[in-house]
Amino acid sequence: MGNEVQSSLYVVAAAGTDPSKLAAVLEAAGAATLLITPDAGCPLTATSARPLVELAQQKQIAALIADDAQLARTLRADGVHLSWSKDITARYAEAREVLGNRYIVGVDVGRSRHDAMELAEEGAEYIGFGIPAHVEDRDASGARRRELIAWWSEIFEVPCVAFDVDTADEAKVLASAGADFIAMRVDEAFSPVDAKALARDIAEAAAQREALA
């Protein structure tokens, strides 16, 4: 069996997000991880990412940088998250070479069971299942993601994260399927009240899953 833990909220925020507003969301959600992504139309830089890295670490939340292992090392973030790509295994090896084993290297394998197993064996701290942006049939891909999460949670110990989650209902379904973490992007309209309610719903869905296991 996989990890017997309740699902948690994995917060995704752009570098331009107001730190004070984000701080309130992180506290309300009880988040354990913050993934920092580029702001719309802007590259992710040390200047833009540093305030959110410092915010997360002050709150003892893991701060991950999207797709730039060298920047993660420069900022002394907790690690890097690698978005899905066809060369994800090679990119994982490169990131691990830059960061060594002291940092987190998490990966989104999209819909690949093979990549998931290979990268877990190589030492990835978590395996993510998402829906690549180029996919047109989002419903079919959503069903595939749910199937992969259920499969992974039954067999493997390495935590799994559900990515590209758009709604609270979708988050609850994925928590019920066995996701250890639900990645949700927050914006200016996402309030601490929203975060607290979503975190509660995710935890309840996970608890119901465990009760039936």
**Mind listing the pLDDT tens digit for each residue in 151-203?**
999 999 999 999 999 899 999 999 999 999 999 999 888 999 999 999 999 99
Distance, in Å, from the CA atom of 158 to the CA atom of 178, rounded to the nearest integer, reads 12
Distance, in Å, from the CA atom of 185 to the CA atom of 58, rounded to the nearest integer, reads 21
In the chain, the percentage of residues whose pLDDT exceeds 70 is: 96
Instruction: Calculate the CA dihedral of residues 142, 144, 146, 148 and round it to 10 degrees.
Output: -150
The band of 1, judged by pLDDT with boundaries at 50, 70 and 90, is very low
Mean pLDDT of the chain: 93
Query: Closest by alpha carbon to 149, among 166, 137, 161, 135?
Result: 161
Q: What burial class does residue 148 get, using C-beta atoms within 10 Å of its C-beta: 0-12 exposed, 13-18 middle, 19+ buried? A: buried
Task: Report the pLDDT averaged over residues 126-151.
Answer: 91
Q: What burial class does residue 97 get, using C-beta atoms within 10 Å of its C-beta: 0-12 exposed, 13-18 middle, 19+ buried? A: exposed
State both tokens at 198.
């979503």
Q: Which domains does the chain show, CATH number per domain?
A: 8-212 (3.20.20.70)
The pLDDT, as a whole number, for residue 7 is 66
The pLDDT, as a whole number, for residue 6 is 57
The pLDDT, as a whole number, for residue 172 is 95
pTM: 0.93
The long-range contacts involving 24-29, CB below 8 angstroms and separated by at least 24 positions, are 24/192, 25/186, 25/190, 25/191, 25/192, 25/194, 25/195, 26/55, 26/56, 26/59, 26/61, 26/195, 27/59, 27/192, 28/192, 28/193, 28/195, 28/196, 28/199, 29/195, 29/196, 29/198, 29/199
The pLDDT, as a whole number, for residue 3 is 42
Collapsed DSSP state (helix, strand, coil) of residue 129: strand
In the chain, the percentage of residues whose pLDDT exceeds 90 is: 84
State both tokens at 41.
């139309």
First to last CA, the chain: 10
Does the pLDDT value for residue 15 go beyond 90? yes
Count, residues in the chain: 213
The pLDDT, as a whole number, for residue 10 is 96
What is the phi-psi region of residue 47: left when phi exceeds 0, alpha when psi lies from -120 to 50, beta otherwise? alpha
Does the pLDDT value for residue 2 go beyond 90? no
Task: Report the pLDDT averaged over residues 136-146.
Answer: 90
pLDDT in tens, 66-110: 999 999 999 999 999 999 999 999 999 999 999 999 999 999 999
The pLDDT, as a whole number, for residue 132 is 79
Name 80's bridge partners: 65, 105
